[in-house]
Amino acid sequence: MFYKRLTLSTIILLFFLNGCGDSPAKKTTPKVTSDTKEKPALNDSLMAVEKDTFLLTEENAIDFFFNYQKDLKTTRVRLNTSLGSFVVELYDNVPYHKANFIYLTKKGYFNNTMFHRVVKDFIIQGGNADNKETAMKRREIGRYLLPPDTRKGHKHHRGTISMPSSEIDNPHMLASPYEFFIVVTDPGSYHLDGDFTPFGRVTQGMDIVDKINQQEVDDGDWPMQNIYIETVEIVN
């Protein structure tokens, strides 16, 4: 498999080269990526992480999610937003990305984040927030990227949930794990196939996704009024 052919040294090198500090791409490009807008002046208490806390890193993330997904039975999650709720079914044959999303859900990472990028008739992108809480959650969970998994037959149809990649020095299109985007284009945005990893699809509440996509945005595609992901919960 692709993951096993990557040597540990290659993965470490790629992770060091590709931090999670990207900015939103312009809507004129197929690049769908951004990362947290952390405020630079966090005090020492927020920066601190307990010594006995498990952290995901560029060295252990692949092995961790390989083991985490083995007995994973969850297939659906519900995203409760300030504009309504919708349900996503996760694909079993994209194990690393599915495991990552469920792990972050169980850690409560997505709660109180936002749909921070809305490109009309294209995508909505979530998992970011311009607040200290989100920055602290990322520090407590860890700094890592995921390898792409684009050859499982999934396409970027309307309603597909996929994972953006880090932009910086990233020839292997490693995925930024804390964010996701959902395709709104009808019937789909197939120019994204092969570059980004679809790992699920919206099965209920696509009207809510459309409602989010219709909100007014600024020149940087950030909604004029914050659209919160209030909670994400396991359905089954």
- Of 131, 147, 119, the residue nearest 213 (C-alpha): 119
Q: 162 with 180: CB under 8 angstroms?
A: yes
Question: What pLDDT does 213 receive?
Answer: 98
Question: What pLDDT does 226 receive?
Answer: 97
Residues 199, 122: Cα–Cα separation, whole Å: 18
Question: What pLDDT does 114 receive?
Answer: 98
For each of the chain's 236 residues, which pLDDT tens digit applies? 444 444 444 443 343 333 344 433 445 444 544 454 444 334 443 344 444 579 999 999 999 999 999 989 889 999 999 999 999 999 999 999 999 999 999 999 999 999 999 999 999 999 999 899 999 999 999 999 999 999 999 999 999 999 998 665 566 778 889 999 999 999 999 999 999 999 999 999 999 999 999 999 999 999 999 999 999 999 98
CATH number for the domain whose boundaries are 2-37+56-234: 2.40.100.10
> Cis omega (within 30 of 0) on the bond before 187?
yes
Rg (CA), the chain: 17
Domain ranges of the chain: 2-37+56-234
Question: What pLDDT does 176 receive?
Answer: 87
Question: What pLDDT does 166 receive?
Answer: 65
Residue 151 burial class via C-beta count within 10 angstroms: exposed 0-12, middle 13-18, buried 19 and up: exposed
Per-residue tokens: 204:
């209920």
Q: 77 with 102: CB under 8 angstroms?
A: yes
The pTM of the full predicted model, rounded to 2 decimals, is 0.80
